[in-house]
Amino acid sequence: MKTRFNLAFSFGSSLEHHDATGEHVTASLLRSAILRKLAATADTELVENCGAPFDTYEVTPVADEMRDALTRLVASCEEALDGRWDRTDDGFEAMRDDAELALSKLDEVQP
């Protein structure tokens, strides 16, 4: 699987308003102004408007995180079944945490 990155861009827009401070500009006014600007912007102008990303980080694929959590869970179960596990509360908590992590990642990919 190819490495993926999350890149954050800024999109510049403006609107005319009677309040010079912008204090009374509502989300609805901003949304309308941004959507009008976006609809009227050619692709090349859009790329110029956004410029270079201001933040970037590598994204760990959800499937990899689920696989890792489930692999740890299976290993803990195997240890318990063959008697190598100390059966402390910490062990149960770690198993529960791994199962909850896998379930939370499943929620990210399931509609």
pLDDT single digits (tens) 29-62: 999 999 999 999 999 999 999 999 999 988 777 7
Give me the sign of the Cα torsion angle 24, 27, 28, 33.
Answer: positive
* 43 shares its domain with 73: no
- Do 13 and 46 lie in one domain? The reply is yes
Same domain for 73 and 49, yes or no, is no
Q: Phi first, then psi: give them for residue 46, nearest 5 degrees.
A: -65, -45
pLDDT digits (tens, 9 = 90+) for 54-63: 999 887 777 7
Residues 6+ apart with CB under 8 A from 51: 9, 10
Cα–Cα distance measured from residue 3 to residue 10, given in angstroms and rounded to the nearest whole number: 23
* Full domain range(s) for residue 85: 62-109
41 and 81 inside one domain:
no
Number of domains in the chain: 2
In the three-class reduction of DSSP (H, G, I as helix; E, B as strand; rest coil), residue 17 is classed as coil
Rounded CA separation 73/67 (Å): 10
The structure's pTM equals: 0.50
